[in-house]
Amino acid sequence: MNAVHFAGLGERLGSRLRAPLGLLILLFLLAANPAAADTKPAGSREDQGAWFQDARFGLFIHWGLYSQIGGEWQGKRYYGITEWLMRRAKIPAADYALSAKDFNPTDFDAKAWVRTAKAAGIKYIVITAKHHDGFAMYGSKASAFNIVDATPFKRDPLRELADAARAEGLKIGFYYSQFQDWSDPNAEGNDWDFPAQGRQFSEYLHRKAIPQITELLTRYGPISVIWFDTPQEISKADSQKLYDLVKQLQPDCLVSSRIGNGLGDFTTYGDAEIPAKPSSGLPWEAIFTHNDSWGYSSFDTHFKSSTELVHLLATVASKGGNMMLNVGPDGAGRMPQGSVTRLARVGEWLKRNGRSIYGTSAVSYWPLPWGVMTQRPGELYLHVLERPRDGQLIVPGVKGRIDSMRYLNSTTALKWRQQGDDIVVSLPASLPDPMDSVIVVKQSSVAVDAVPHEIMISRQYGLTALSPATASLSGSAKASVVQYYHYFGDWKYFDTVTGLNNPESTVSWRLRVLEPGDYRIDIEYTADDESAGQEGLVTVADQQLRFQTLETGKTVESRPAPLFVHAIGVVTIKTPGVYPLTIRPAQTGHSLFTIKQALVTPSD
């Protein structure tokens, strides 16, 4: 497998593999963050998107022929995302089409899926109508390669699911791969059957894609989302044509930003990426799959726990976005039990705490040591994910009058006091909810000012991570993102800084140190042979630590990043207060390293 030639980004970057990391990152930012804010009148978009803004929790379903293959082909396991199996195994389109003859998901029960979603607290469902393999999961007149005409199943699961979802008050949306279609000679992506020369995308667009999108938007009732994906080199005119088509057929249908070329009604970030600071100004969505594949994998049991899912949901909500979680039903039409049981537990948590998630808005992008916050007018929600050892929870940046404070779904008042711009809550000995205990702060005349740009450092917690995304940069230092994958298509991201190549270029954070004492500073980074061996300086208060970077290896998109946690040394803080922590190169040279984060850990 040529791992570099992969997905939206990989395909684009493949020929530039040897370009400097900075260039790769820049291209990534351009590809993944289309800022479409100025392309359409803002008012209409906000109205259209109101349900989406409030929904907060969506279900993504990848289901297709690949689900029945389940990641294993001719006795060989393909670790990673299984919906890419046709391309990874270079299966001839004719052979792949044969597998439709065995696709008979008789256990499919649309009502059961919708019950599972609803009980999980999910508000909208987006299912693959056609993925990159080109197989339509509904009865399409535009292509016979579809579940009604090419399989013994004969039923139309999209109709059943759309009807069942609407009957339960859930929104339904369709994923449609507009650019890649590995079964079509004129679409993108299949370079093992079809020569690239003479490919006529517009022929495919007008013969298959436009007719199918038209079917999806005219035969299934109100469709709330068309989720386009991997736009790659699609032209601006073609993206616009598809966008206009959707709006002409269903003006209220929202279009994902992966339609390409800066269009779309909401921003979808990279797979499994939570933006440190959402930037496009549009409503947005962070997408995760439950294990390491979108399509069903018969051997992937790496399911995120229900507690992890609740933490992700609360974290995404605290930044003002939706979380869309993917499950991959199998070839028989069953959702994996590992997903079903965990989703049910998330639903139980949401039943108690949904008020702190649905319809809320962001509070601040600044990290807090104990958790995250959400709000609605008159109410602030503290999501306590980690209890301070002394039980004294500090909420910074709160101005004005507070009326009361209690756990959501409890009438017992909590003890608290206001101290300057802080609220200090005295927590009982144990938290009521092991997943996320939510405290509701009622306030008549108040505002949570965005939390000041300070990061609380306290001995009441384990380590505190300082991300470049929340740092101030100077000189030639520039924010960027590193991305790579573990198993094929299992993408990972971290925020970093490029241009740290002279002493004037710095990355720094304002630390608000709550208790005096010793603190150990670690830096997590990668360094290739050019970066390694240089000296850097960490300054905290009046103390300076000098260190030398160690060689960890090159960062390559198709491999795990060679991250290393370098223990730099210990600083002593005598008086609580605000101190900058600054990292800079000691001399002019190559970029010092590719930093992921600095870590501050109480030391004794």
Residues between 104 and 143 with contacts to ligand JFZ, criterion CB under 6 A: none
Cβ distance to ligand JFZ smaller for residue 157 or 270? 270
Cβ distance to ligand JFZ smaller for residue 9 or 438? 9
Cβ distance to ligand JFZ smaller for residue 29 or 450? 29
Instruction: Report in angstroms the alpha-carbon separations of 96 from 93, 103, 148, 212, 330.
Output: 5, 12, 17, 21, 17
Closest by CA to 596, choosing from 547, 527, 529, 548, is 527
Residue 229 Cβ, how far from ligand JFZ at the closest point, in Å? 5
Cβ distance to ligand JFZ smaller for residue 9 or 441? 9
Closest by CA to 366, choosing from 397, 388, 387, is 397
Closest by CA to 595, choosing from 458, 473, 447, is 473
Residue 71 Cβ, how far from ligand JFZ at the closest point, in Å? 13
Q: Using the rule CB under 6 A, give the single segment among 1-9, 90-98, 185-193, 512-520 that binds ligand JFZ.
A: 1-9
Cβ distance to ligand JFZ smaller for residue 233 or 390? 233
The label of the residue with tokens 């517009």 reads 202
Residue 533 Cβ, how far from ligand JFZ at the closest point, in Å? 33
Q: Is 485 in the site for ligand JFZ (CB under 6 A)?
A: no
Beta pairing partners, 172: 125
Q: Is 491 in the site for ligand JFZ (CB under 6 A)?
A: yes
Residues between 228 and 257 with contacts to ligand JFZ, criterion CB under 6 A: 229-230
Amino acid identity for residue 338 in this structure: G
Amino acid identity for residue 149 in this structure: D
What is the chain's length? 604
Dist. CA 470–CA 204, nearest whole Å: 45
Return the SS3 of 508.
Answer: strand
Cβ distance to ligand JFZ smaller for residue 175 or 243? 175
Dist. CA 263–CA 38, nearest whole Å: 10
Q: Is 8 in the site for ligand JFZ (CB under 6 A)?
A: yes
Instruction: Report in angstroms the alpha-carbon separations of 190 from 5, 73, 92, 487, 490.
Output: 12, 18, 9, 21, 21
Residue 9 Cβ, how far from ligand JFZ at the closest point, in Å? 5
Task: Report the 10 Å Cβ neighbour count for 145.
Answer: 22
Residue 198 Cβ, how far from ligand JFZ at the closest point, in Å? 25
Amino acid identity for residue 77 in this structure: R
Closest by CA to 421, choosing from 383, 457, 447, is 447
The label of the residue with tokens 């300076």 reads 544
Cβ distance to ligand JFZ smaller for residue 260 or 397? 260
Residue 28 Cβ, how far from ligand JFZ at the closest point, in Å? 7
Among 32, 114, 272, 448, binds ligand JFZ (CB under 6 A): 32
Residues between 285 and 324 with contacts to ligand JFZ, criterion CB under 6 A: 294
Cβ distance to ligand JFZ smaller for residue 229 or 436? 229
Residue 305 Cβ, how far from ligand JFZ at the closest point, in Å? 21
Q: Using the rule CB under 6 A, give the single segment among 7-15, 44-52, 245-253, 416-424 that binds ligand JFZ.
A: 7-15
Dist. CA 528–CA 551, nearest whole Å: 6
Return the SS3 of 11.
Answer: helix
Residues between 377 and 406 with contacts to ligand JFZ, criterion CB under 6 A: none
What is the signed CA dihedral for 310, 313, 316, 321, rounded to 10 degrees? -170
Residue 441 Cβ, how far from ligand JFZ at the closest point, in Å? 37
Amino acid identity for residue 155 in this structure: R
Q: Using the rule CB under 6 A, give the single segment among 6-14, 135-143, 182-190, 436-444 that binds ligand JFZ.
A: 6-14
Residue 489 Cβ, how far from ligand JFZ at the closest point, in Å? 6
Residue 161 Cβ, how far from ligand JFZ at the closest point, in Å? 18
The label of the residue with tokens 């206009």 reads 244
Among 188, 215, 271, 300, binds ligand JFZ (CB under 6 A): 271
End-to-end CA distance of the chain: 50
Return the SS3 of 540.
Answer: strand
Among 270, 275, 278, 388, binds ligand JFZ (CB under 6 A): 270
Dist. CA 80–CA 28, nearest whole Å: 21
- Using a 10 angstrom Cβ sphere, with 0-12 exposed, 13-18 middle and 19 or more buried, the burial of residue 476 is middle
Count the residues of the shown chain that bind ligand JFZ, applying the rule CB under 6 A: 14
Q: Mask of contacts with ligand JFZ, 64-103, x by CB under 6 A?
A: -----------------x-xx-------------------
Dist. CA 282–CA 272, nearest whole Å: 19
Cβ distance to ligand JFZ smaller for residue 7 or 456? 7
Residue 345 Cβ, how far from ligand JFZ at the closest point, in Å? 24
Cβ distance to ligand JFZ smaller for residue 278 or 396? 278
Within 56-178, residue ranges assigned H as helices are 65-69, 85-88, 93-98, 110-119, 147-150, 157-167
Dist. CA 415–CA 325, nearest whole Å: 36
C-alpha 432: how far from chain center: 28
Residue 49 Cβ, how far from ligand JFZ at the closest point, in Å? 21
Residue 390 Cβ, how far from ligand JFZ at the closest point, in Å? 42
Q: Using the rule CB under 6 A, give the single segment among 2-10, 163-171, 508-516, 565-573 that binds ligand JFZ.
A: 2-10
Cβ distance to ligand JFZ smaller for residue 7 or 439? 7
Amino acid identity for residue 296 in this structure: Y
Query: Interface with ligand JFZ by CB under 6 A: which residues?
Result: 7-9, 31-32, 81, 83-84, 229-230, 270-271, 294, 491
